[in-house]
Amino acid sequence: MILVTGASGHLGQSIIEKLLPQLPEGENLAVGTRNPEKLKHLKDQGIDIREADYNDKNSLITAFRGVSKVLLISGHAPNDERIKQHKNAISAAVLAGTKHLCYTSFTHPAPESRFLFAEVHYKTEELLKNSGLTYTIFRNAWYADLLVEGIEQMLEGGKFEAAAGNGRINSIPRSEIAAAIAKVLASPGYGNSTFELTGPDTFTYEEATQWISEAYQKEVKYLDVNTEQIRKLYGGDASFGFEMQGILSSYEAMQANEYDYVSDDFEKIMGRKPLSVREFIQEQAKQSKSAG
Ligand SMILES: NC(=O)c1ccc[n+]([C@@H]2O[C@H](COP(=O)([O-])OP(=O)(O)OC[C@H]3O[C@@H](n4cnc5c(N)ncnc54)[C@H](OP(=O)(O)O)[C@@H]3O)[C@@H](O)[C@H]2O)c1
Protein backbone atom coordinates (compact mmCIF):
# COMPACT_ATOMS: atom_id res chain seq x y z
CA MET A 1 0.00 0.00 0.00
CA ILE A 2 1.11 3.56 -0.80
CA LEU A 3 0.09 6.39 1.55
CA VAL A 4 0.19 10.10 0.69
CA THR A 5 0.11 12.56 3.59
CA GLY A 6 -1.00 16.19 3.13
CA ALA A 7 -3.51 14.80 0.63
CA SER A 8 -6.03 17.59 1.17
CA GLY A 9 -3.51 20.22 0.06
CA HIS A 10 -2.85 21.59 -3.43
CA LEU A 11 0.12 19.34 -4.15
CA GLY A 12 -1.39 16.28 -2.46
CA GLN A 13 -4.66 16.50 -4.43
CA SER A 14 -2.80 16.81 -7.70
CA ILE A 15 -0.60 13.80 -6.87
CA ILE A 16 -3.62 11.64 -5.96
CA GLU A 17 -5.38 12.56 -9.21
CA LYS A 18 -2.32 11.58 -11.27
CA LEU A 19 -1.36 8.53 -9.22
CA LEU A 20 -4.74 6.76 -9.23
CA PRO A 21 -4.83 5.86 -12.96
CA GLN A 22 -1.27 4.47 -12.89
CA LEU A 23 -1.43 2.45 -9.67
CA PRO A 24 0.07 -0.98 -10.36
CA GLU A 25 -2.34 -3.94 -10.40
CA GLY A 26 -3.05 -5.05 -6.82
CA GLU A 27 -1.59 -1.89 -5.24
CA ASN A 28 -3.79 0.10 -2.88
CA LEU A 29 -3.80 3.78 -2.03
CA ALA A 30 -4.31 5.48 1.33
CA VAL A 31 -4.25 9.15 2.25
CA GLY A 32 -3.38 10.93 5.48
CA THR A 33 -5.06 14.06 6.86
CA ARG A 34 -5.78 15.64 10.24
CA ASN A 35 -9.41 15.78 9.27
CA PRO A 36 -10.67 12.66 7.43
CA GLU A 37 -14.05 14.33 6.87
CA LYS A 38 -12.32 16.64 4.34
CA LEU A 39 -11.32 13.71 2.13
CA LYS A 40 -14.36 11.45 2.45
CA HIS A 41 -15.15 11.95 -1.28
CA LEU A 42 -12.09 9.81 -2.06
CA LYS A 43 -13.72 6.75 -0.47
CA ASP A 44 -15.75 6.13 -3.63
CA GLN A 45 -12.49 5.68 -5.53
CA GLY A 46 -11.39 2.90 -3.18
CA ILE A 47 -8.96 5.10 -1.26
CA ASP A 48 -8.39 4.40 2.42
CA ILE A 49 -8.62 7.63 4.45
CA ARG A 50 -6.51 7.68 7.60
CA GLU A 51 -6.18 10.24 10.37
CA ALA A 52 -2.58 11.46 10.55
CA ASP A 53 -1.33 14.49 12.46
CA TYR A 54 2.38 15.29 12.21
CA ASN A 55 2.22 16.55 15.82
CA ASP A 56 0.88 13.21 17.06
CA LYS A 57 3.36 10.39 16.50
CA ASN A 58 0.90 7.69 17.58
CA SER A 59 -1.61 8.78 14.95
CA LEU A 60 1.17 8.46 12.36
CA ILE A 61 2.21 4.98 13.53
CA THR A 62 -1.41 3.83 13.25
CA ALA A 63 -1.83 5.49 9.84
CA PHE A 64 1.35 3.92 8.43
CA ARG A 65 0.47 0.32 9.45
CA GLY A 66 0.49 -1.97 6.43
CA VAL A 67 1.95 0.76 4.24
CA SER A 68 5.09 -0.04 2.24
CA LYS A 69 5.69 3.41 0.74
CA VAL A 70 4.82 6.76 2.35
CA LEU A 71 4.95 10.17 0.70
CA LEU A 72 5.53 12.76 3.42
CA ILE A 73 4.41 16.15 2.13
CA SER A 74 6.22 18.80 4.17
CA GLY A 75 4.05 20.57 6.74
CA HIS A 76 3.54 24.19 7.61
CA ALA A 77 4.80 25.51 10.96
CA PRO A 78 7.75 27.44 12.44
CA ASN A 79 11.10 25.66 11.85
CA ASP A 80 11.56 23.86 15.19
CA GLU A 81 7.99 22.61 15.21
CA ARG A 82 8.10 21.52 11.56
CA ILE A 83 11.38 19.64 12.01
CA LYS A 84 9.83 17.85 15.00
CA GLN A 85 6.75 17.00 12.90
CA HIS A 86 8.89 15.49 10.14
CA LYS A 87 10.96 13.62 12.74
CA ASN A 88 7.72 12.18 14.11
CA ALA A 89 6.73 10.97 10.64
CA ILE A 90 10.12 9.37 9.90
CA SER A 91 10.25 7.67 13.26
CA ALA A 92 6.60 6.50 12.92
CA ALA A 93 7.42 4.98 9.52
CA VAL A 94 10.28 3.00 11.09
CA LEU A 95 8.06 1.83 13.99
CA ALA A 96 5.16 0.91 11.68
CA GLY A 97 7.45 -1.23 9.49
CA THR A 98 7.22 1.01 6.41
CA LYS A 99 10.14 0.34 4.07
CA HIS A 100 10.31 3.42 1.85
CA LEU A 101 9.65 7.08 2.68
CA CYS A 102 9.52 9.82 0.05
CA TYR A 103 9.77 13.44 1.15
CA THR A 104 8.93 16.73 -0.55
CA SER A 105 11.96 18.89 0.19
CA PHE A 106 12.77 22.29 -1.29
CA THR A 107 15.25 23.62 -3.80
CA HIS A 108 18.71 24.50 -2.39
CA PRO A 109 18.22 23.08 1.11
CA ALA A 110 21.69 24.11 2.29
CA PRO A 111 22.82 25.15 5.79
CA GLU A 112 24.29 28.35 4.31
CA SER A 113 21.04 29.30 2.54
CA ARG A 114 19.63 32.72 3.40
CA PHE A 115 16.10 31.30 3.17
CA LEU A 116 14.79 30.69 6.68
CA PHE A 117 12.90 27.49 5.84
CA ALA A 118 15.92 25.81 4.16
CA GLU A 119 16.83 24.54 7.64
CA VAL A 120 13.64 22.45 7.82
CA HIS A 121 14.51 20.70 4.60
CA TYR A 122 18.21 19.95 5.06
CA LYS A 123 17.55 18.73 8.61
CA THR A 124 14.65 16.52 7.46
CA GLU A 125 16.75 15.14 4.59
CA GLU A 126 19.49 14.31 7.07
CA LEU A 127 17.06 12.60 9.48
CA LEU A 128 15.61 10.58 6.63
CA LYS A 129 18.99 9.49 5.26
CA ASN A 130 20.03 8.35 8.74
CA SER A 131 16.76 6.54 9.48
CA GLY A 132 17.55 3.23 7.81
CA LEU A 133 14.49 3.64 5.58
CA THR A 134 14.80 3.59 1.81
CA TYR A 135 14.38 7.25 0.87
CA THR A 136 13.42 9.34 -2.13
CA ILE A 137 13.79 13.10 -1.85
CA PHE A 138 12.07 15.55 -4.18
CA ARG A 139 13.68 19.00 -3.99
CA ASN A 140 10.83 21.04 -5.40
CA ALA A 141 11.62 24.40 -6.96
CA TRP A 142 9.42 27.44 -6.34
CA TYR A 143 5.81 26.78 -7.30
CA ALA A 144 5.07 28.78 -10.47
CA ASP A 145 1.49 28.88 -9.18
CA LEU A 146 2.53 31.39 -6.49
CA LEU A 147 3.54 33.85 -9.21
CA VAL A 148 0.43 33.22 -11.29
CA GLU A 149 -1.88 33.64 -8.26
CA GLY A 150 -0.85 37.31 -8.10
CA ILE A 151 -1.50 38.09 -11.77
CA GLU A 152 -5.00 39.54 -11.38
CA GLN A 153 -3.72 42.06 -8.85
CA MET A 154 -0.71 42.87 -11.08
CA LEU A 155 -2.99 43.51 -14.07
CA GLU A 156 -5.25 45.71 -11.96
CA GLY A 157 -2.40 47.78 -10.51
CA GLY A 158 -0.17 47.65 -13.61
CA LYS A 159 2.77 46.62 -11.44
CA PHE A 160 4.49 43.61 -9.91
CA GLU A 161 6.18 44.53 -6.65
CA ALA A 162 8.83 42.17 -5.31
CA ALA A 163 12.32 42.32 -3.85
CA ALA A 164 14.20 39.73 -5.88
CA GLY A 165 16.52 42.24 -7.59
CA ASN A 166 18.10 40.71 -10.69
CA GLY A 167 18.21 37.28 -9.08
CA ARG A 168 17.48 34.37 -11.41
CA ILE A 169 14.93 31.91 -10.06
CA ASN A 170 14.01 28.32 -10.80
CA SER A 171 10.31 27.58 -10.70
CA ILE A 172 7.91 24.87 -11.88
CA PRO A 173 4.11 24.43 -11.85
CA ARG A 174 2.81 22.33 -8.96
CA SER A 175 1.02 20.04 -11.40
CA GLU A 176 4.37 19.18 -13.03
CA ILE A 177 5.91 18.36 -9.63
CA ALA A 178 2.84 16.20 -8.93
CA ALA A 179 3.23 14.37 -12.25
CA ALA A 180 6.85 13.46 -11.51
CA ILE A 181 6.11 12.41 -7.92
CA ALA A 182 3.10 10.30 -8.98
CA LYS A 183 5.21 8.51 -11.60
CA VAL A 184 7.92 7.71 -9.03
CA LEU A 185 5.37 6.55 -6.45
CA ALA A 186 3.72 4.23 -8.97
CA SER A 187 7.01 2.72 -10.15
CA PRO A 188 9.33 0.23 -8.50
CA GLY A 189 12.83 1.47 -7.65
CA TYR A 190 13.88 5.11 -7.30
CA GLY A 191 15.16 4.24 -3.80
CA ASN A 192 17.90 6.22 -2.05
CA SER A 193 17.81 9.00 -4.59
CA THR A 194 17.33 12.76 -4.64
CA PHE A 195 15.57 14.55 -7.48
CA GLU A 196 15.78 18.28 -8.19
CA LEU A 197 12.40 19.15 -9.71
CA THR A 198 13.01 22.46 -11.43
CA GLY A 199 11.63 24.10 -14.55
CA PRO A 200 13.64 24.00 -17.81
CA ASP A 201 15.16 27.47 -17.32
CA THR A 202 15.66 30.27 -14.81
CA PHE A 203 14.31 33.81 -15.09
CA THR A 204 14.24 37.17 -13.32
CA TYR A 205 10.99 38.64 -12.05
CA GLU A 206 11.46 41.42 -14.57
CA GLU A 207 11.40 38.83 -17.40
CA ALA A 208 8.35 37.13 -15.87
CA THR A 209 6.61 40.53 -15.75
CA GLN A 210 7.24 40.96 -19.50
CA TRP A 211 5.78 37.49 -20.16
CA ILE A 212 2.68 38.48 -18.18
CA SER A 213 2.32 41.72 -20.17
CA GLU A 214 2.67 39.79 -23.46
CA ALA A 215 0.29 36.99 -22.52
CA TYR A 216 -2.44 39.28 -21.14
CA GLN A 217 -1.75 42.13 -23.60
CA LYS A 218 -1.68 44.64 -20.81
CA GLU A 219 1.33 46.55 -19.58
CA VAL A 220 2.64 45.48 -16.18
CA LYS A 221 5.87 46.97 -14.80
CA TYR A 222 8.28 45.23 -12.45
CA LEU A 223 9.02 47.32 -9.36
CA ASP A 224 11.88 46.20 -7.19
CA VAL A 225 11.02 47.35 -3.67
CA ASN A 226 12.76 47.11 -0.31
CA THR A 227 11.93 44.73 2.52
CA GLU A 228 10.02 47.40 4.47
CA GLN A 229 7.69 47.82 1.48
CA ILE A 230 7.30 44.05 1.23
CA ARG A 231 6.29 43.97 4.90
CA LYS A 232 3.61 46.59 4.22
CA LEU A 233 2.48 44.84 1.04
CA TYR A 234 1.76 41.67 3.02
CA GLY A 235 -0.12 43.59 5.71
CA GLY A 236 2.65 43.65 8.35
CA ASP A 237 4.19 41.01 10.61
CA ALA A 238 0.98 40.40 12.56
CA SER A 239 -1.00 39.08 9.62
CA PHE A 240 1.74 36.74 8.39
CA GLY A 241 3.30 35.61 11.68
CA PHE A 242 6.28 33.27 11.29
CA GLU A 243 5.87 33.32 7.51
CA MET A 244 6.89 36.97 7.17
CA GLN A 245 10.54 36.22 7.95
CA GLY A 246 10.30 33.33 5.49
CA ILE A 247 9.04 35.66 2.76
CA LEU A 248 11.70 38.32 3.42
CA SER A 249 14.52 35.76 3.59
CA SER A 250 13.31 34.13 0.36
CA TYR A 251 13.90 37.45 -1.42
CA GLU A 252 17.41 37.65 0.06
CA ALA A 253 18.10 34.16 -1.28
CA MET A 254 16.72 35.12 -4.71
CA GLN A 255 18.86 38.28 -4.82
CA ALA A 256 21.90 36.17 -4.01
CA ASN A 257 21.08 33.86 -6.94
CA GLU A 258 20.63 30.80 -4.72
CA TYR A 259 18.01 29.46 -7.15
CA ASP A 260 19.92 30.11 -10.35
CA TYR A 261 20.23 26.50 -11.46
CA VAL A 262 18.21 23.94 -13.37
CA SER A 263 18.21 20.17 -13.39
CA ASP A 264 17.10 17.61 -15.96
CA ASP A 265 15.79 15.24 -13.27
CA PHE A 266 12.19 15.96 -14.29
CA GLU A 267 12.97 14.91 -17.87
CA LYS A 268 14.74 11.78 -16.62
CA ILE A 269 11.58 10.75 -14.76
CA MET A 270 8.95 11.86 -17.26
CA GLY A 271 10.76 11.52 -20.61
CA ARG A 272 9.81 15.11 -21.52
CA LYS A 273 10.70 18.62 -20.41
CA PRO A 274 8.49 20.31 -17.80
CA LEU A 275 6.27 23.23 -18.76
CA SER A 276 8.26 26.47 -18.45
CA VAL A 277 6.97 29.40 -16.43
CA ARG A 278 6.52 31.38 -19.64
CA GLU A 279 4.34 28.59 -21.12
CA PHE A 280 2.47 28.29 -17.82
CA ILE A 281 1.66 32.02 -17.88
CA GLN A 282 0.49 31.74 -21.52
CA GLU A 283 -1.71 28.77 -20.57
CA GLN A 284 -3.25 30.71 -17.68
CA ALA A 285 -3.91 33.72 -19.94
CA LYS A 286 -5.68 31.50 -22.51
CA GLN A 287 -7.82 29.96 -19.77
CA SER A 288 -8.77 33.33 -18.32
CA LYS A 289 -9.69 34.63 -21.82
CA SER A 290 -11.89 31.62 -22.53
CA ALA A 291 -13.53 31.99 -19.09
CA GLY A 292 -14.54 35.47 -20.29
N1 LIG B 1 7.99 24.74 -3.48
C2 LIG B 1 7.31 25.81 -3.08
O3 LIG B 1 7.29 26.87 -3.75
C4 LIG B 1 6.48 25.77 -1.83
C5 LIG B 1 5.70 26.89 -1.49
C6 LIG B 1 4.90 26.82 -0.36
C7 LIG B 1 4.91 25.68 0.43
N8 LIG B 1 5.68 24.60 0.10
C9 LIG B 1 5.70 23.36 0.91
O10 LIG B 1 5.00 22.36 0.16
C11 LIG B 1 3.95 21.77 0.99
C12 LIG B 1 2.80 21.32 0.13
O13 LIG B 1 2.33 22.42 -0.64
P14 LIG B 1 0.78 22.65 -0.87
O15 LIG B 1 0.67 23.77 -1.83
O16 LIG B 1 0.09 21.37 -1.13
O17 LIG B 1 0.35 23.17 0.60
P18 LIG B 1 -1.14 23.22 1.20
O19 LIG B 1 -2.14 23.29 0.13
O20 LIG B 1 -1.13 24.28 2.24
O21 LIG B 1 -1.30 21.79 1.92
C22 LIG B 1 -0.53 21.48 3.05
C23 LIG B 1 -0.94 20.11 3.54
O24 LIG B 1 -0.15 19.82 4.71
C25 LIG B 1 -0.95 19.12 5.62
N26 LIG B 1 -0.53 19.41 6.99
C27 LIG B 1 -0.16 20.61 7.51
N28 LIG B 1 0.10 20.47 8.83
C29 LIG B 1 -0.13 19.16 9.13
C30 LIG B 1 -0.05 18.40 10.32
N31 LIG B 1 0.29 18.95 11.51
N32 LIG B 1 -0.34 17.08 10.26
C33 LIG B 1 -0.71 16.50 9.10
N34 LIG B 1 -0.82 17.17 7.94
C35 LIG B 1 -0.53 18.48 7.95
C36 LIG B 1 -2.38 19.60 5.39
O37 LIG B 1 -3.22 18.48 5.62
P38 LIG B 1 -4.58 18.47 6.51
O39 LIG B 1 -4.98 19.91 6.74
O40 LIG B 1 -5.56 17.71 5.70
O41 LIG B 1 -4.20 17.77 7.76
C42 LIG B 1 -2.40 19.99 3.92
O43 LIG B 1 -2.97 18.98 3.14
C44 LIG B 1 3.63 22.89 1.99
O45 LIG B 1 3.02 22.35 3.17
C46 LIG B 1 5.01 23.49 2.25
O47 LIG B 1 5.73 22.71 3.19
C48 LIG B 1 6.46 24.62 -1.03
Q: Are 147 and 141 in contact (CB under 8 A)?
A: no
Q: How far is the CA of 74 from the centre of ligand 1 (A)?
A: 6
84 touches ligand 1 (CB under 6 Å):
no
Q: How far is the CA of 12 from the centre of ligand 1 (A)?
A: 8
**Each residue's pLDDT expressed in tens, for the chain with a length of 292 residues:** 999 999 999 999 999 999 999 999 999 999 999 999 999 999 999 999 999 999 999 999 999 999 999 999 999 999 999 999 999 999 999 999 999 999 999 999 999 999 999 999 999 999 999 999 999 999 999 999 999 999 999 999 999 999 999 999 999 999 999 999 999 999 999 999 999 999 999 999 999 999 999 999 999 999 999 988 988 888 877 777 889 999 999 999 999 999 999 999 999 999 999 999 999 999 999 998 877 6
87 touches ligand 1 (CB under 6 Å):
no
Question: Helix crossing, 79-96 with 57-64: angle to 10°?
Answer: 40
Q: How far is the CA of 241 from the centre of ligand 1 (A)?
A: 17
Structure confidence at residue 241 (pLDDT): 81
109 touches ligand 1 (CB under 6 Å):
no
Q: How far is the CA of 214 from the centre of ligand 1 (A)?
A: 32
Hey, whose CA ends up nearest to atom 10 of ligand 1? 74
10 touches ligand 1 (CB under 6 Å):
yes
Q: How far is the CA of 288 from the centre of ligand 1 (A)?
A: 26
Structure confidence at residue 133 (pLDDT): 98
9 touches ligand 1 (CB under 6 Å):
yes
pLDDT tens digit sequence for 85-109: 999 999 999 999 999 999 999 999 9
Structure confidence at residue 289 (pLDDT): 80
74 touches ligand 1 (CB under 6 Å):
yes
Structure confidence at residue 292 (pLDDT): 67
Q: How far is the CA of 9 from the centre of ligand 1 (A)?
A: 6
CATH T-level fold of 2-140+174-197:
Rossmann fold (3.40.50)
Hey, whose CA ends up nearest to atom 28 of ligand 1? 75
Q: Would you list the DSSP string of the chain?
A: -EEESSTTSHHHHHHHHHHGGGPPTT--EEEEES-GGGGGGGGGGTPEEEE--TT-HHHHHHHHTT-SEEEE----S-HHHHHHHHHHHHHHHHHHT--EEEEEEESS--TT-SSTTHHHHHHHHHHHHTSSSEEEEEEE-EEHHHHHHTHHHHHHHTEEEE--TT--EEEE-HHHHHHHHHHHHHSS--TTEEEEE--SSEE-HHHHHHHHHHHHTS--EEEE--HHHHHHHTT-HHHHTHHHHHHHHHHHHHHTTTT----SHHHHHHSSPPPPHHHHHHHHHHHHHHT-
Residue spans per domain, the chain = 2-140+174-197
8 touches ligand 1 (CB under 6 Å):
yes
Structure confidence at residue 199 (pLDDT): 98
40 touches ligand 1 (CB under 6 Å):
no
142 touches ligand 1 (CB under 6 Å):
yes
Q: How far is the CA of 103 from the centre of ligand 1 (A)?
A: 12
Structure confidence at residue 261 (pLDDT): 97
Structure confidence at residue 67 (pLDDT): 98
